[in-house]
Amino acid sequence: MKEYNVAIVGATGAVGEEMRKVLEQRKFPVKKLKLLASAKSAGRRLTFKRTGVTVEELTKSSFKDINVALFSAGAQISKEYAPHAVRAGAVVIDNSSAFRMKPDVPLVVPEVNPDDVSWHKGIIANPNCSTIQMVVALKPLYNRSRIKRVVVSTYQAVSGTGKEAIEELLNQSKSVVLGEKKVELNVYPHQIAFNLLPHIDGFLENGYTKEEMKMVNETRKIMGDDEMGITATCVRVPVLISHSESVNIETEKKITADKAREILKNAPGVEVIDDPENLVYPLPIFAANKDACYIGRIREDESIKNGLNLWIVADNLRKGAALNATQIAEVLLERNLL
């Protein structure tokens, strides 16, 4: 099998570390792995396939002989360095928001719109983590009946903000349990331990946050339906890993709860866990470190004619980021586009 030179930009971050794990676990044919990060992280040794790999400082000339560059270092880094990677001959799979809504950049979830990789011009965007797990669940139902409207509330883990946010939650939790009067705030504007923050990313003039509008705009682009009505409320919760979503949909034709379960049980990337009588439903701690999008609490919305409620949980670092990016690379490989 042909092997490929792969670079990970942002290799020491939470998603970058997960990308390294996923590449190894899925046996992606890596000939050489290049780990790139800031000057502060350069020189660190990380393990890949039982071999130590030294982290290098990211520069404009870092991409010589690289076939695939997985970016997860923020939008500004992607905007600055992705064009250099493309000019060097690499296909960039970018995990930031830098290119997602550009009309000439595919926004891809392999279970939903894999054919879109065919028209890339060097850059393929990885969607927002919350968008990914939602569209994986929605697409099989959409194929049965067009979805007219989506109302989603997210419950997002702190790992979506990064390693510092994980440390903040753990440190604050210890402080609260020990009865300390003050908790230290470094990452979030308010205490996250034992609390909820209805605020992810900056607020916009329309009263929504950037995260909420990402879900609206990205879902329409991925699903290829600009007329779909979507509204979102995104909430940060004191959970380490795995985002959860309460999703209400209105379809053009009736889909019963039983039919929805049947459809979703046969859908790619999905596992249905829906046995409320025995208190069985998806939980963040169960989804952590797993690849599937877990769906439960499937029931008909009795307030409208053609409505369904879903509870969706997935590991935001894996399917919400590293796994989806690797799956995009696998689609490119399968279609001889590398």
Catalytic residue among 120, 129, 234, 293: 129
**3-class SS at 71?**
strand
Task: Report H helices in the chain.
Answer: 14-25, 75-87, 129-144, 163-177, 210-223, 257-265, 284-287, 323-334
- What is the maximum span of the chain, computed from C-alpha positions, in angstroms? 60
Whether 243 sits among the annotated catalytic residues: the reply is: yes
Say how far apart CA 159 and CA 244 lie, in whole Å: 13
**3-class SS at 236?**
strand
**Crossing angle between the packed helical segments 210-223 and 129-144, to the nearest 10 degrees:** 40
Token representation of residue 312: 């969706």
- DSSP result, 146-167: -EEEEEEEEEE-GGGT-HHHHH
Say how far apart CA 278 and CA 269 lie, in whole Å: 24
Say how far apart CA 265 and CA 141 lie, in whole Å: 11
Q: 């990308």: which residue's tokens?
A: 19
Whether 293 sits among the annotated catalytic residues: the reply is: no
Say how far apart CA 331 and CA 337 lie, in whole Å: 8
Catalytic residue among 120, 234, 243, 293: 243
**Crossing angle between the packed helical segments 14-25 and 323-334, to the nearest 10 degrees:** 40
Q: What single-letter DSSP state applies at residue 278?
A: G
Token representation of residue 298: 């499937």
Q: What single-letter DSSP state applies at residue 101?
A: T
Which are the catalytic amino acids? 129, 243
